[in-house]
Amino acid sequence: MTEQTSPKLTEFHMRIDADARWFHEGGEITRKRMVALFASILSCDETGQHWLTTPVEYGPVEVEDAAFIIIAMQVTSAAGIQVITMTDNIDRVYEVGTDFPLRLEAGKDGAIKPYLLLERGVRARLSHPVYYELASLAQTDHASGALGVTSHRQFFSLEQQDNPQPTGYKA
């Protein structure tokens, strides 16, 4: 019978800069597949601390803003339902909706920025071109009067909110 042990705290010397470039011991990780591998074990807790976690060890990761950047978006419509799809800097694709909501929030520098919330508490910042493309789709919501976009019949405000929780609701 094998004995179950808890993961050990380890210092990985990992950092993700404000442009979502990943570094290990000061050197940039330039292989997208390597970043994708680390991304698969990245999480962020309720305090904003990012962690890499394996079955045997875990350790903190310094993240200057967001771990990823949304670099492209596409809008499709089927049966009258608009779907906004976003692609991050390691080629993962997300459909904006309940599972991956949009929100505006203060970055670590205090500036209000648009983010897509990903799995395990991690977020991706929308690049300027993607945000401008998204803003070009904005419409006023009849219920709230807010300016925003709809994806999967869920409305996402593009205005700064007092409530830091995701602002989407079923339209």
- pLDDT for 159 equals 86
Read off the CATH number of the domain in which 53 is found: 3.10.540.10
Number of domains in the chain: 2
Domain that holds residue 95: 68-170
- Domain end, chosen from 23, 43, 63, is at 63
CA 15/CA 6 separation, integer angstroms:
24
- pLDDT for 162 equals 55
Instruction: List pLDDT tens digits, range 76-96.
Output: 998 999 999 999 999 999 999
Instruction: Residue 45: name the closest of 108, 120, 118, 109 by CA.
Output: 120
- pLDDT for 143 equals 86
List of the chain residues with pLDDT < 70: 1-4, 107, 161-171
